[in-house]
Amino acid sequence: MAKEDIFDKEWVDERDKNSLEGLLEQMNLPPAAVKFVRDNKRAVQIAIAAVVVAVIAWSLYGSYRDNRIEQSSAALSDALEMDGQQMIDQLAAVENDFSGTPAALWAQINAAQALAADGEMEAASSKFKAVREDIGKSSPLQPLLSIGIAQTAEVLGNYDESLGEYQKLAGIEGYESIGNMGVGRIHEIQGDTARALDVYESYLATIDPAAIMQKRLVEEKIAAIKAAQ
């Protein structure tokens, strides 16, 4: 069979090249595909238009979201430069005005910490818990929220709640010290020095020898309990 000469291709009117049919011919699609598109020309045109609109909309949304994140970060930075109630009010504004952004989430956490620093433990505890309900269980912020909840609960005298949070922290890498020391402290507050001693001694056995200050602190705790017995 003789090789097909490119000059033997069917001639196409230049006026047809801008039409859908002309485009199909230029793309050398199978006859069945060309027939399908011709028979459903209107539907295909609508589908193409929908895709174009979707791409443009997504691009515009991405730009809007980037600007929103930038603005929220700036607002959070400004709020954190303030003090007292003024800072808490501005953090609340960031939370309300930029809902759904990382800055709004951090505004809630910082507001809870500010409330705790001002002695508003009930309000701080509620704020910490509200944030925890909004984030996933696998969020890296979970330990930070557990610390806030544990500490406010301890101050409020809600020892069972505080103990539960400290026990969670004791099992999380990087938070073992806060967790174990908290568990031991709660047992001491409740008068259960035997359990506190057991917690401190068990934790001491896991401390890296290089962590001299931490090891010494636990040893002092153990010595104080034994001296009081």
Per-residue pLDDT averaged across 25-35, rounded? 62
pLDDT digits (tens, 9 = 90+) for 66-112: 677 788 888 888 888 888 888 888 888 888 888 878 888 888 989 99
Q: What is the pTM of this model?
A: 0.68
Tokens of 181: 């020391």
pLDDT of residue 18: 47
Cα separation of 213 and 221, whole Å?
13
Query: How high is the mean pLDDT of the chain?
Result: 82
Q: Where do the domains of the chain lie, and which CATH numbers do they carry?
A: 119-229 (1.25.40.10)
Cα separation of 1 and 138, whole Å?
66
pLDDT of residue 75: 85
Helices 176-189 and 142-156, axial angle in degrees (round to 10): 20
Cα separation of 22 and 90, whole Å?
61
Length of the chain: 229
| Amino acid letter, 139 | S
Q: Is the pLDDT of residue 6 over 50?
A: no
